[in-house]
């Protein structure tokens, strides 16, 4: 695991964007694993800036997102698909047919997503945020790790954290479909970004804690190419 601390949240997130951009320059048909949430926004801004300068081209890029709410249509502005359209897809030349987000709420839908990732040759670089409870891609704390794409019931903690995007916590969907730890671990490289004081415990437990499904991100200790980028606040418990 590589761990880098930046002075500001923006610098940490932009560094993640640069790692994705570098991957695109190395391999024009890269398969990117993408994430939603507040943290990746500056990473996507960096990619859009490089695209506008002609540094990177998305024409042959394939993307797979980590997760999507269940029961929300992709045209709904609160869907993760709409988020991706707003922050990245509408601003670069990625082909709509190369863009994938999980959908549905059945085991078959999950298996189809796993198969699509495999058919694309696997994910070259996976961008991740982290929840305050250590979740990655809505893989919530549990008694065991869940490997394939699956439907998850969101924890109260996550519903409250995501309520800021909705009019009230009651409107936050209770379920999501998430890529699963196995797909994340199978990515060739993983870049996790965490910023702000409220992520400090999750960062500490991910890097220094025991590997446990109670802190889903802790399994990244076993990933052969995992980079964790944080600001000083999210690294504040890592001092010794």
| CB-nearest residue to ligand PGA | 37
Q: Which of 14, 124, 140, 231 is catalytic?
A: 140
- Six token digits for residue 21: 């951009």
Q: Which of 14, 65, 67, 98 is catalytic?
A: 67
User: Residue 39 CB, nearest distance to ligand PGA (Å)?
Assistant: 3
Q: Which residues have CB under 8 Å from 75's CB, separation 6+?
A: 81, 82
Phi, psi (rounded to 5 degrees) for 70: -90, 135
Active site (annotated) includes residue 76 = no
- Six token digits for residue 92: 């670069």
Active site (annotated) includes residue 170 = no
Q: Which of 135, 205, 223, 231 is catalytic?
A: 135
CB nearer to ligand PGA: give 57 or 201.
Answer: 201
Q: Give the closest residue to 212 by CA, choosing from 145, 130, 155.
A: 145
User: Residue 221 CB, nearest distance to ligand PGA (Å)?
Assistant: 18
User: Residue 90 CB, nearest distance to ligand PGA (Å)?
Assistant: 20
Active site (annotated) includes residue 142 = no
3-state SS, 16-62, equals HHHHHHHHHHHCCCCEEEECCCCCCHHHHHHHHHHHHCCCCCCCCCE
CB nearer to ligand PGA: give 5 or 112.
Answer: 5
Q: Which residue has the tokens 């994430």?
A: 35
Active site (annotated) includes residue 67 = yes
CB nearer to ligand PGA: give 159 or 237.
Answer: 159
Are 203 and 170 a contacting pair, CB within 8 Å?
no
Question: Which spans of this chain sit near ligand PGA (rule: CB under 6 A)?
Answer: 37-39, 129-131
Over its C-alpha atoms, the chain yields an Rg (Å, rounded) of 17
Q: Which of 65, 98, 133, 162 is catalytic?
A: 133
User: Residue 33 CB, nearest distance to ligand PGA (Å)?
Assistant: 13
CB nearer to ligand PGA: give 116 or 163.
Answer: 163
Instruction: Give per-residue burial for 56-71: e unless 16+ CB within 10 Å, then b.
Output: bebeebbbbbbbbbbe
**Any idea which residues carry the catalytic annotation?**
67, 133, 135, 140
């Amino acid at each position: 695991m590589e761990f880098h601390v930046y002075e500001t949240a923006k610098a940490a997130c932009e560094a993640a964007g640069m790692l994705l951009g570098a991957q695109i320059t190395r391999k024009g048909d890269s398969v990117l694993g993408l994430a939603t949430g507040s943290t990746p926004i500056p990473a996507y801004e960096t990619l859009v800036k490089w695209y506008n300068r002609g540094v990177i081209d998305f024409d042959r890029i394939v993307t797979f997102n980590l997760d999507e709410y269940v029961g929300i249509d992709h045209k709904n502005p609160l869907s993760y698909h709409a988020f991706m359209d707003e922050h990245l897809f509408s601003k670069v030349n990625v082909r709509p047919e190369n863009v994938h987000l999980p959908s549905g709420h059945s085991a078959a839908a999950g298996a189809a997503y796993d198969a699509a990732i495999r058919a694309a040759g696997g994910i070259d670089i996976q961008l991740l945020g982290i929840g305050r409870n250590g979740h990655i891609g809505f893989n919530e704390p549990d008694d065991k790790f869940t490997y394939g794409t699956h439907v998850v019931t969101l924890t109260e903690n996550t519903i409250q954290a995501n309520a800021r995007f909705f009019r009230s916590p009651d409107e936050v969907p209770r379920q999501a479909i998430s890529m699963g730890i196995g797909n994340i671990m199978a990515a060739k490289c993983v870049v996790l970004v965490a910023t702000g004081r409220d992520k400090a415990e999750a960062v500490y437990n991910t890097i220094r804690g025991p590997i446990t499904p109670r802190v889903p991100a802790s399994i990244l200790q076993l990933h052969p190419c995992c980079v964790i980028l944080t600001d000083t606040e999210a690294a504040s418990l890592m001092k010794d």
